Amino acid sequence: MRTRIFTFTLSIFLCAIARAELKWEQTAVELHPTAGDKEAVGHFKYQNTGSQPVRFKSVHTSCGCTVAQSQKEEVPPGEKGEITATFKIGDRTGTQVKNVTVETDAPNHATTVLTLKAVIPQELEINPTFVFWGQGEALKSKSIVVRASKDFPVKQLKVTSSSPDFQTKVEQTGNGQFKIDVQPRETTRAIAAKLVIQPEDSPKVFYATVSVTNAPATQ
């Protein structure tokens, strides 16, 4: 009986001290890619502070736009490593938050959620990005408001239409603020155009779409 109690207690003690644990330097990383960057890469560093090796069971992301990779499959005790999360920016805007879920065989914290936050700079805010007229609608111009962000001062804006069916006029309405007045030549048929909006002295271009739709104008 005493031997059993001793063995039981010893095994509990051994389990308690023989732990596997992954300690993360940080579980949330905030990135500030510059305009023109195609990707934002976050590094999540960890260390095995336990006495048992830790094996990664899976590393998966919350969306197809983020790819996460672990340097190692198994982390020996005391070893360090990192998980790299690469977020494809594409044409995304604003603050993007993507999660990476890491599953290990460590008894405490078997699952850890790493958060990658990317603040994508938005040089111009275009509102709205789509303007349309119904067929037969009155030939009146409609406006698109363009606001430059404080970090990207814009003195002049160049707007070109991909089709001569739409005329555009740009007016500066304030510091870094512009109004684009657009008018179609006619609203008797379906026509469309892409407006290319380019700040002066900047290679970056922005877009808006204008069209006369197939459907008649609604009152």
Partner 1 sequence: MAEIAKVKFAWRIMDLVVGGVFIYAGVVKAFQPVRFASDIDNYKILPWTISVGLAFYLPWLEILCGLALILRRLYLGGLSILTALVLIFSGVTIAAKVRGLDITCGCFGHASQNWSFSGHLALDLVILAALLALYFKVTSENRLQNAV
Partner 2 sequence: MRQALVLAALALLPGIGQAIYFRDKVSWQSPIPASEMVTVAQARAWDGNVIWVDARPDVEFERDHVPDAVPLNEDRWNELLPQFLATWSPEKRVVVYCSSQSCNASREVARRLRGEAQLKDVFVLQGGWEEWLKSRK
Q: From 132, 142, 130, 138, select the one nearest 179 (Cα to Cα).
A: 142
Work out what residue 115 binds among partner 2, partner 1, none; the CB cut-off runs from 5 to 8 Å by kind.
Answer: partner 1
- Supply the minimum distance, in Å, between the C-beta of residue 80 and partner 2: 31
Helix then strand then coil, in percent of the chain rounded to 5, is 5, 55, 35
Contact track, partner 1, 86-125, x by CB under 8 A: ---------x-x---------------x-x-x--------
Q: What are the residues whose beta carbons fall under 8 Å from the beta carbon of 46, sequence distance 6 or more?
A: 22, 23, 24, 25, 75, 80, 81, 82, 83
CA distances from 188 to 136, 164, 166, 213 (A): 6, 15, 13, 10
Q: How far apart are CA 109 and CA 55, in angstroms?
A: 13
- Supply the minimum distance, in Å, between the C-beta of residue 87 and partner 2: 11
Query: Among the candidate windows 24-32, 78-86, 185-193, 199-207, which touches partner 1 by CB under 8 A?
Result: 24-32
Binding site for partner 2 (CB under 8 A): 62-65, 88, 90-93, 126-130, 132, 134, 192, 194, 207, 209, 211, 213-215, 218
- Supply the minimum distance, in Å, between the C-beta of residue 28 and partner 1: 3
Residues near partner 1 (CB under 8 A): 26-30, 95, 97, 113, 115, 117
